[in-house]
Structure 1
Amino acid sequence: MIRVQDLCKTVTSGAQELAILRGINLEIKAGESAAIIGVSGAGKSTLLGLLAGLDNASSGAVFLHGQNISVMTEDQRASLRAKHVGFVFQSFQLLPGLTALENVMLPLELSGRSGAAAKAKVFLDKVGLAERGHHYPRQLSGGEQQRVALARAFAVEPDILFADEPTGNLDEHTGQRIIELLFALNSESDTTLVLVTHELPLARRCERQFVMHDGVLSEEFDNDGVAKPIDSALDAL
């Protein structure tokens, strides 16, 4: 489902080149949930953006559905995302001039799917906002906006969902509610989930975890009941 080969990302800062990602190799199978965890500035969000085809790597390759998106044009990547990918942002990324219902409808309409309004209403109901569809983002709380963002991401029935710090702008109680909703929708849809977080409890909810440090993705750990060295590795961050 997702395969990464020797992925690197460098940026120029003044006269210096800054290495953001250094030789990342990664494979995530269909239907798996995976967390990428690390401190701010470690390169987590940069990697997620490259996996989703929102940015270009300096070298290396990213394969989604067996297709090398690293050699695609932006239009080709956008077409692939419309068919297969959902994305949840920390900052919600709702369009302020559209209602909650219209925000959920938008990706459905852009991908040419029929019955956008009816499907959007179904997913707003799934996140408990059936009665708030006519409200604009400014009229919703942070937690409600993130629930709209989840409805928008899942309404397109993506094969892969990327989530970038989905609880980062929420208080603990609201964040926990969003986590439960995220995993419930993910299980119901059998979607491959890849999320970036600095929160250990959220990372441990995933089947697989990866530690990002200084642009390098560390050894993988799992939750299969054996000793979990991830505890000490992550607690040290």
Structure 2
Amino acid sequence: MLTVSQLTKQVSTHTGGLTILNNINFSVVAGESLAIVGASGSGKSTLLSLMAGLDSPSDGSVEIDGNNLTSMDEDQRAEFRARNVGFIFQSFHLLTTLTALENVALPLELKGEKKAIDQAKALLEQVGLGDRLEHYPNQMSGGEQQRVAIARAFAAQPKILFADEPTGNLDTKTGQHIADLLFDLNASKGTTLIMVTHDLKLAARCGRQIELEAGQIKPSADASVEAANA
């Protein structure tokens, strides 16, 4: 499903070049759940953005379902994401001028789905927001907004779903509910799930974990990855 090969990301700073990621290699099979953990600044979110095609690497490649994202231009990557990739942000990234229903229906409408509203309504009911369809983001709690974001991410039935700290802005109880919902949808729809999280309990619920340290996979984690893929 996903193969990351020799992935490297470097940026220029006023003091010279800075390597954020260095020679990252691993693969994920279809339907698997993977957690990427590590201290702040270890490169987790950068890796997630590169895998989702939201950013371009300095070297190396990312392949999803046999498609090389790093050989695509920005427009091609955007088209590929619309058809194959879902993304859940820590800060929700809902459109404030749209209702919950409209937020979830939008990606379906962009794909030309004739029953976008009906599908969006069904998804919101599935995440427990059937009574909040016409509410705007500023009328909902953080947990409710994240549930809308999850429904939106699953709306286009992506082959792979990336989640960046999906419970990071939520209290413990709400975060637990969101995690349960995320894994339930992942299992029921067979979507490959890759998440970045500081929450080790949440990470432990994934099929396996990769730990980053200073832009590289820690040797112990790398060994487990190789063993899992053997």
TM-score range, shorter chain: over 0.9
One-letter amino acid of the structure 1 residue matched with residue 40 of structure 2: S
Does 1:82 find its partner at 2:92?
no
For each residue in 1:186-229, what CA deviation from the matched residue of structure 2 results, as whole angstroms up to 9, or x when unmatched? Answer: 1000000000001110000000110011100222448x9xxxxx
1:155 Cα deviation from its structure 2 partner = 1.2
Structure 2 counterpart of 1:29: 29
| C-alpha distance in structure 1 between counterparts of 2:103 and 2:14, whole Å | 39
TM-score, normalisation: structure 1: 0.92
Shift of 1:39: 1.1
Instruction: Give the letter for the 1:210 counterpart.
Output: I
Provide the secondary structure at the position in 1 that maps to 2:131. helix
Q: Within 5 Å, which residues of 2 pair with 1:1-237?
A: 1-218=1-218, 219-220=221-222, 221=224
Q: Identity across aligned pairs (percent)?
A: 57
Amino acid at match of 1:81: R
Q: Return the letter of the residue paired with 1:104.
A: V
Report the count of equivalent residues.
223
Q: Determine the C-alpha separation between the residues in 2 that align with 1:181 and 1:15.
A: 44
Distance in 2 (alpha carbons) for counterparts of 1:187 and 1:70: 29
Deviations 1:102-158, CA, capped at 9 Å, x for gaps: 000111111222211000000000000011010000000000000000000111111
TM-score by length of 2: 0.95
Specify the SS of the correspondent of 1:132: coil
- The alignment partner of 2:173 has SS state of helix
- The runs of 5 or more residues in structure 2 that have no matched partner are none
What is the alpha-carbon distance in structure 2 between the residues aligned to residue 16 and residue 122 of structure 1? 51
Whole-Å separation in 2 of the counterparts to 1:154 and 1:214: 32
SS in 2 for 1:166: coil
Q: How far does residue 65 in structure 1 lie from its aligned partner after superposition? A: 1.1
Q: What amino acid is the match of 2:80?
A: L
Can you give the 5+ residue segments of structure 1 that lack an aligned partner in the other structure? 225-237
Q: In 2, distance between residues paired with 1:132 and 1:38?
A: 36
